[in-house]
């Protein structure tokens, strides 16, 4: 993983000092509320329903055990002993005190962490595949490019006051695990006709009030031009994105208004002036970035023997076998496997993790996975490099800590924003809906039989729970001061990305488990052999679901 040198450290230390001074001036009444707002947002601090909340950056979801222990310490010292993993791979604190935020930032800086640009109208944390570097279907490790983008976007002087927030995601695998179609800029590593790997660049994707799938701006961009090209896109957006209406300020609205052709032309024009300038990447810089993401010291393992020993364990202890099947994925190195640590135990808010669990994960990472851990945009954690022979003891430890719910990619692996329990923007609570659904569908055999199913819940139009791209999406809406829930079906964040379609009138909170049951029963009745929920939905459309859900009781 990337390690700071003295330059990186100095930059981040100076940021802490800057924000300490700003906070002091604010508390002394020398900065107005309005002026302080973007300053604190760009340091991760946003004020929510109950208290200020703080979003700590986890660049492209990668953490080491030392950092994890520091986060655990911070949740204990400055918060209530737990943290929340967001849908953008970041870590959120629910109860920090404004006065203490500079101290928290200083603690973070001591382990090469920060909260830079995790909120506000600026370039946010770049996200990627949680299985980057270990996935079998990967063309090339995307993380060096994420790090290059991280450095370029950190304190970018020109783009700190954009019309609206700006999110970039990078993916390099066959299966898109970074939802690049739903980002302001999506970058995919692809080969050109002669096999050379470059970037396909998409722009104008996004969720929120007006969900849009991104459009291709450039089919293949030579790697060296990454930063100048991004700069050109941002420059067009900064100058021409709408600033009169917050809800029309994202780049997706600009791309739509201009049309992709005209947008591309404008980008090319800006790019012509920047191309081949000093920000052009050098071979040395790409090599330097790559040098931080080399293979850890994998052992040489007889893959076949290791595999059969593992299968024997799985057969001997079916609960372990089940977890193995649901929560681990193949690794490109023989004898290794990547493990998803489920933060979706029923009874716990999706994505929440306690200080004790954080410390346990740090220990397990040290013991079994080269000291590294990842956060996922599905609000789980990943130990990416576990030896197959260590899976059994790892599972035992995880199980004791409530971190081995075998539900990854299934119905109860709910993706859920903090919603009305914490968030001042919410129209409705989201966590209780997630919990009610998890509680209702507690028969895991039934859940497995339903197959892969993504359920996403957002408490309002801001779509932090990415409800548009869930196979089933739930959105909290306000109906005359009452909390209601709108359901959509058929969204997908995969390469064949699609946006969910609204089922019909919204429902009361207490009806949601029944509504889910009707939707799921419809699927079970109509599904063809081997058909997933999404397959069936795409074949039969929304009407059969609608009929069943809204049928008058007889």
Partner 1 sequence: MPRLIKNGAVLSDEQWQAANPDADAAGPGSIATLSQWEALGDKQDSAVQLEPGDGVEALLPHLDELALVAVNFPVFTDGRGFSYARELRERGYRGELRAVGGFIRDQLHYLSRCGFDAFQLADESQLEEAVASLGDFSEHYQAAIDQPLPLFRRRA
List the one residue from 465, 470, 491, 500 that touches ligand SF4 (CB under 6 A). Answer: 465
CA-nearest of 202, 216, 180, 230 to 377 is 180
Residues 236-265 that bind partner 1 (CB under 8 A): 238-239, 243
Rounded least distance, CB 417 to ligand SF4, Å: 3
C-alpha separations of 78 from 81, 166, 182, 424 in Å: 8, 29, 34, 21
The encoded tokens of residue 242 equal 């709408």
| Residue 51 touching ligand SF4 (CB under 6 A) | no
Residues present in the chain in total: 554
Shorter beta-carbon distance to partner 1: residue 62 or 162: 162
Q: Are strands 91-93 and 52-56 parallel, antiparallel or unpaired?
A: antiparallel
Shorter beta-carbon distance to ligand SF4: residue 4 or 95: 95
Q: Which residues neighbour 382 within 8 Å (Cβ) at sequence distance 6 or greater?
A: 130, 131, 338, 339, 340, 341, 373, 374, 375, 376
CA dist., res. 520 & res. 6, Å (int): 55
Shorter beta-carbon distance to ligand SF4: residue 101 or 460: 460
| Residue 59 touching ligand SF4 (CB under 6 A) | no
List the one residue from 361, 365, 426, 497 that touches ligand SF4 (CB under 6 A). Answer: 426
Q: Are strands 472-479 and 455-458 parallel, antiparallel or unpaired?
A: parallel
Residues 103-142 that bind partner 1 (CB under 8 A): 121
CA dist., res. 351 & res. 379, Å (int): 5
| Residue 431 touching ligand SF4 (CB under 6 A) | no
Residue 459 partner contact from ligand SF4, partner 1, none using kind-dependent CB cut-offs of 5 to 8 Å: ligand SF4
The encoded tokens of residue 363 equal 């220990």
Residue 463 partner contact from ligand SF4, partner 1, none using kind-dependent CB cut-offs of 5 to 8 Å: ligand SF4
Other CB atoms within 10 A of residue 314 CB: 18
**DSSP 8-class letter at 217:** E
CA dist., res. 335 & res. 332, Å (int): 9
CA-nearest of 312, 308, 309, 314 to 327 is 314
Residue 14 partner contact from ligand SF4, partner 1, none using kind-dependent CB cut-offs of 5 to 8 Å: partner 1
Residues 136-175 that bind partner 1 (CB under 8 A): 148, 151-152, 154-162
Shorter beta-carbon distance to ligand SF4: residue 128 or 458: 458
List the one residue from 258, 425, 517, 540 that touches ligand SF4 (CB under 6 A). Answer: 425
Shorter beta-carbon distance to ligand SF4: residue 119 or 522: 119
| Binding interface with partner 1 (CB under 8 A) | 5, 7, 10-11, 14-15, 18, 22, 31, 35, 38-39, 121, 148, 151-152, 154-162, 227, 235, 238-239, 243, 273, 277-279, 281-282, 284-285, 288
| Binding interface with ligand SF4 (CB under 6 A) | 417-419, 423, 425-426, 458-460, 462-465
């Amino acid at each position: 993983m990337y390690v700071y040198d003295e330059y990186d450290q100095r930059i981040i230390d100076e940021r802490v000092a800057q924000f300490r001074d700003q906070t002091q001036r604010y508390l002394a009444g020398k900065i107005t509320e309005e002026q302080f707002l973007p300053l604190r947002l760009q340091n991760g601090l946003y004020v929510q329903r109950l208290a200020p909340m703080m979003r700590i950056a986890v660049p492209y979801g990668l953490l080491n055990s030392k950092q994890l222990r520091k986060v655990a310490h911070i949740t204990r010292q400055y918060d209530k002993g737990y943290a929340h993993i967001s849908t953008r791979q970041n870590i959120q604190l629910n109860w920090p005190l404004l006065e203490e935020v500079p101290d928290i930032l200083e603690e973070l800086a001591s382990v090469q962490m920060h909260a830079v640009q995790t909120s506000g109208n600026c370039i946010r944390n770049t996200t990627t595949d949680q299985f980057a570097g270990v996935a079998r279907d990967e063309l090339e490790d995307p993380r060096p490019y994420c790090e290059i983008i991280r450095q370029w976007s950190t304190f970018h002087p020109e783009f700190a006051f954009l019309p609206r927030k700006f999110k970039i995601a990078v993916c390099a695998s066959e299966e898109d695990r970074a939802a690049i179609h739903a980002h302001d800029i999506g970058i995919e590593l692809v080969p050109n006709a002669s096999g050379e790997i470059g970037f396909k660049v998409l722009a104008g994707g996004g969720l929120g009030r007006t969900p849009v799938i991104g459009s291709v701006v450039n089919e293949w961009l030579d790697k060296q031009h990454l930063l100048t090209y991004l700069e050109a896109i941002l420059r067009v957006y900064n100058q021409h994105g709408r600033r009169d209406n917050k809800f029309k300020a994202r780049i997706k609205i600009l791309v739509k208004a201009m049309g992709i052709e005209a947008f591309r032309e404008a980008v090319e024009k800006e790019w012509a002036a920047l191309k081949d300038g000093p920000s052009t990447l050098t071979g040395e810089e790409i090599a330097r970035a790559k040098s931080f993401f080399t293979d850890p010291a994998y052992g040489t393992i007889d893959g076949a023997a290791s595999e059969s020993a593992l299968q024997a364990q799985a057969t001997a202890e079916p609960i372990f076998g089940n977890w193995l099947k649901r929560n681990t994925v193949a690794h490109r190195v023989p004898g290794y496997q990547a493990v998803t640590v489920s933060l979706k135990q029923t009874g716990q808010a999706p994505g929440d993790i306690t200080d004790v669990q954080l410390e346990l994960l740090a220990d397990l990472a040290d013991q079994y996975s080269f000291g590294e851990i990842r956060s996922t945009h599905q609000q789980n954690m990943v130990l990416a490099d576990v030896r197959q022979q260590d899976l059994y003891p790892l599972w035992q430890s995880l199980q004791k800590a409530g971190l081995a719910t075998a539900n990854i990619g299934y119905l109860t692996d709910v993706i859920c924003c903090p919603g009305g329990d914490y968030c001042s923007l919410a129209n409705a609570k989201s966590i209780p809906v997630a919990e009610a659904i998890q509680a209702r569908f507690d028969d895991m055999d039934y859940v497995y039989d339903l197959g892969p199913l993504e359920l996403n819940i957002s408490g309002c139009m801001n779509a932090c729970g990415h409800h548009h791209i869930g196979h089933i999406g739930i959105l909290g809406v306000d109906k005359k001061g009452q909390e209601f829930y709108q359901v959509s079906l058929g969204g997908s964040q995969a390469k064949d990305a699609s946006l969910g379609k609204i089922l019909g009138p919204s429902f009361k909170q207490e009806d949601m488990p029944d509504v889910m049951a009707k939707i799921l029963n419809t699927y079970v009745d109509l599904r063809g052999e081997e058909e997933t929920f999404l397959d069936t939905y795409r074949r039969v459309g929304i009407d059969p679901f609608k009929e069943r859900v809204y049928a008058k009781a007889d």
